[in-house]
């Protein structure tokens, strides 16, 4: 594994501690590497309405975008599951939007890791290129 992917896992593991997940009890952390070299982190934030919940991956990317970063070159996701947690469908679309075909590193708290390319996770993705007709 690349040093940067290990750093992303460490950052995602740390920010997972901030997860606000009183309804599901399912805590997730994510860390995305901006093309400015900065690591942007996010945790899941739930709501009593359930439906307004925001995932860790989108919070990490949206934090970077809010700081002016439009591209990210890698992302890591950490949850406490034996079978490694992949990004949900909505997050896959947003990761594709701002990261493209990047490696997605998934990890748990026991150090188990796996990496998948975004093009595997979201084949035949819709993106802005289709808007140009």
Residue 57 a catalytic site member: yes
Residue 17 forms beta bridges with which residues?
none
Task: Compare residues 15 and 33 and give the one whose CB is closer to ligand THU.
Answer: 15
Asked if 57 touches ligand THU (CB under 6 A), the answer is yes
Stretch that binds ligand THU, among 8-16, 49-57, 68-76, 124-132 (CB under 6 A): 49-57
Q: Does 46 bind ligand THU (CB under 6 A)?
A: yes
Given the residues 17, 57, 97, 120, the one annotated as active site = 57
- Rule CB under 6 A: say whether 4 interacts with ligand THU: no
Residue 81 binds to ligand THU (criterion: CB under 6 A): no
Tell me which residues are annotated as active site: 57
């Amino acid at each position: 594994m690349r040093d940067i992917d290990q750093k992303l896992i460490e950052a995602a593991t740390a920010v997972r501690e901030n997860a606000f997940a009183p309804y599901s009890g399912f805590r997730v952390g994510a860390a995305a590497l901006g093309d400015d070299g900065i690591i942007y982190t996010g945790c899941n934030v739930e709501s009593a309405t359930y439906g307004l919940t925001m995932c860790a991956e989108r919070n990490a990317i949206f934090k970077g975008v809010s700081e002016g970063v439009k591209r990210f070159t890698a992302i890591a996701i950490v949850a406490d599951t034996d079978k490694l947690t992949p990004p949900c469908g909505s997050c896959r679309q947003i990761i594709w939007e701002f990261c493209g075909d990047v490696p997605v590193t998934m990890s748990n708290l026991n150090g188990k890791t796996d990496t998948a390319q975004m093009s595997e996770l979201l084949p035949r993705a819709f993106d802005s290129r289709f808007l140009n007709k």
